Structure 1
Amino acid sequence: MKNILVIGSVGQIGSELTLELRKRYGNGNVVAGYRSTLPTGELLESGPAEVVDATNAQQIADVVKKYKIDTIYNLAAILSAVGESKPQVAWNIGIGGLMNCLEVAREYGCAVSTPSSIGAFGGGTPLDNTPQDTIMRPQTMYGVSKVAGELLSDYYFKRFGVDTRSVRYPGIISNVTLPGGGTTDYAVEIYYEAIKHKKFTCPLGAGTFLDMMYMPDAIEAAIDLMEADPSKLKHRNSFNVTAMSFDPEIIAAEIKKHIPGFEMTYNVDPMKQAIANSWPNSMDDSAARHEWGWNPKWNLRAMTEDMLKVIGEKHAKGLI
């Protein structure tokens, strides 16, 4: 039975990943690590929780020893748009935190999962069907830290034998926890605004295609990769994964099928638009499909139906 630590357990991905890991491996075997915001509800009540700041190596080591941790999911990060206003903080958390995790993992024999992102791509990267192995010249501190994190994780695997594995996530869409300052966040916000106000002002321009993924697929990808047979992994850090690609017009049209009166206007955020323009329109995830069987289950139609249903129920109950 695995003993797992999730660092960043109250974040957009961490809050759902932690609960899914507990379902699979047992509530007592998955520790919810948090920095300052105490987990609430099921996340707090269903299993152990400990203060674990990724930038504090001793806190990580103490929890690893206390719970005999063998696998660390390190989700601590500052997202792209916020990272541009706080580049030093983004680097310290993204790389300083990762280095701490890797050093603790080296000492105590843990496997480490630290997600990368489409933000790792940039100038010179092919925008359509972006290859698994290609030029990576990101234009944001978030992206720079992701590229450095991929290389650092590969180094610890090759140099010290630490079992490091990661995926390059596209935009993640969730109906549970709101995102925190990412360039692809509009694809979450649009559903909430559609339910609450039947209108949305989009910060990205028409024709801005980006890869996206529904949270259930994102969780599945993270867990499946860590469960994969290591002998079949030619790549480790990091695998392209995606489920769909669309621009604002396409997602708005899908929402209108359910909310005919929905309207979308534009107020383009220059910084977010510049970041989005440097990211792929679509990624080639054939390496993940071939090496560990990646196969997303959600498309735009199914995701939109589920997002509107869940958010609609929350709105009716006065929860949003």
Structure 2
Amino acid sequence: MNSKKILIIGASGQIGSELSLKLRELYGNDNVVASDIKEGNEELMSSGPFEIADATDQPRIEALIEQYKITDVYLMAAMLSGTAEKMPMKAWDLNMNSLFIILNLAKEKKIEKVYWPSSIAVFGPTTPKQDTPQTTIMEPSTVYGISKQAGERWCEYYFNKYGVDVRSIRYPGIISYKTLPGGGTTDYAIEIFHEALKTGTYTSFLSENTSLPMMFMEDAIKATIDIMQAPAENIKVRSSYNLAAMTFTPKELASEIKKQMPDFKISYVPDFRQAIADSWPASIDDSEAKKDWNWDFEYDLEKLTTAMFEGLKVNAVKEN
């Protein structure tokens, strides 16, 4: 395992920061190089090598791969759904050009393995909403979704045409107490915990019965590492795998929070993100991931809620 030399691009982001620390735990601090266009949190910066790098700067990325003798790249840099709608061209540039840089380096055999995250945003209003299949109608209506769908096609193309060992997961909404929301449509499910502890109230930007697939960060990190550690012959899907854990609405999440905070109050003022959420699936069929590389989740809604409150309270104590 220690022959691995890993570069995480976008390591200061929501998933990247926690993934970097877990990979350092598994492969050794010096074998996992974190990079981002901005500095990360103190733990990320102090626990191993960190490099400032723009994901779209090919010479810089290539120099890092050569300097550290990188074998595996996790390309986590992306502009998320809510933010991307405000800056479409900038989002397209970041989300697509960063991927081409890495795929071409893998094609040239300068790296051995690539991880690139996709999203449920690849689906659209015409996709079956319940138990969305692995292979189905995909007509995304957001900039983020269009870039992720295009990325999936390119990943599969580079595997079929050039033998690039690229692996991918379609993440649902990811919930964590360690990092702040990053501009995604499912971020209400993180914000609600912060506001519950701070003010005892929350105004949701999605309507009360908007059902979306969600996952606790621990499970998302586990899935990411599991798919990268699986034997290449087990990875049958080279576009991106469906991934699921739980599905809930803002109303259902609020009800779970009220079990621990009976006085908690929620209101609903949907904004532009409501239309994005309405175009996404309500639940996901991830049987292919289960079959091919034994995926399974640990955290349901009750366990997630407890973990979020416990984690945020510990963080508050540390900050004070």
Q: TM-score range by the shorter chain?
A: over 0.9
> 1:39-71, CA deviations, whole angstroms, 9 ceiling, x for partnerless residues?
331211111111221111111110111111111
Other-structure match for 2:105:
104
Q: 1:244 aligns with which of 243, 246, 254?
A: 246
Other-structure match for 1:155:
157
Residues 1:18 and 2:29 are matched in the alignment = no
- For the residue of structure 1 that corresponds to 2:77, the secondary structure is coil
Q: Distance in 1 between matches of 2:245 and 2:41?
A: 30
Other-structure match for 2:66:
65
Other-structure match for 1:301:
302
> 1:72-116, CA deviations, whole angstroms, 9 ceiling, x for partnerless residues?
000110010110010001100100110011112222033111100
Equivalences for 1:108-257 in 2 at 5 Å? Answer: 108-257=110-259
RMSD after superposition: 1.0
Contact (CA 8 Å) 1:109, 1:162: kept in 2 or not? no
After TM superposition, give the deviation of residue 161 of structure 1 in Å: 1.0
- For the residue of structure 2 that corresponds to 1:222, the secondary structure is helix
Instruction: Report the AA paired with residue 185 of structure 1.
Output: D
Contact (CA 8 Å) 2:125, 2:278: kept in 1 or not? no
Instruction: Report the AA paired with residue 215 of structure 2.
Output: M
Other-structure match for 1:81:
82
Contact (CA 8 Å) 2:36, 2:55: kept in 1 or not? no
Q: Distance in 2 between matches of 1:242 and 1:69?
A: 31
After TM superposition, give the deviation of residue 314 of structure 1 in Å: 2.7
After TM superposition, give the deviation of residue 318 of structure 1 in Å: 4.8
Q: Distance in 2 between matches of 1:39 and 1:267?
A: 32
Contact (CA 8 Å) 1:60, 1:104: kept in 2 or not? no
Other-structure match for 2:273:
272
Q: Please, what TM-score do these two structures have when normalized by structure 2?
A: 0.97
- For the residue of structure 1 that corresponds to 2:237, the secondary structure is coil
Q: Distance in 1 between matches of 2:203 and 2:40?
A: 31
After TM superposition, give the deviation of residue 236 of structure 1 in Å: 2.2
Contact (CA 8 Å) 1:254, 1:304: kept in 2 or not? yes
Question: Are residues 141 and 229 of structure 1, via their aligned partners in 2, closer, same or farther at CA, if it must alter by over 3 Å?
Answer: same
Q: Distance in 1 between matches of 2:53 and 2:73?
A: 12
After TM superposition, give the deviation of residue 310 of structure 1 in Å: 1.4
Residues 1:292 and 2:308 are matched in the alignment = no
Q: Distance in 2 between matches of 1:229 and 1:104?
A: 21
Q: Distance in 1 between matches of 2:221 and 2:314?
A: 23
Question: Are residues 227 and 259 of structure 1, via their aligned partners in 2, closer, same or farther at CA, if it must alter by over 3 Å?
Answer: same
5+ residue gaps, structure 1, are: none
Q: Distance in 1 between matches of 2:101 and 2:138?
A: 24
After TM superposition, give the deviation of residue 301 of structure 1 in Å: 0.5
- For the residue of structure 2 that corresponds to 1:184, the secondary structure is helix
Instruction: Report the AA paired with residue 250 of structure 2.
Output: P
Instruction: Report the AA paired with residue 290 of structure 2.
Output: R
Instruction: Report the AA paired with residue 81 of structure 2.
Output: S
Runs of 4+ aligned structure 1 residues displaced above 4 Å come to 316-319
Instruction: Report the AA paired with residue 249 of structure 1.
Output: K
* Identical columns (%): 48
Q: 1:32 aligns with which of 27, 34, 43?
A: 34
Q: Distance in 1 between matches of 2:318 and 2:57?
A: 40
Aligned residues: 317
Q: Distance in 1 between matches of 2:157 and 2:144?
A: 20
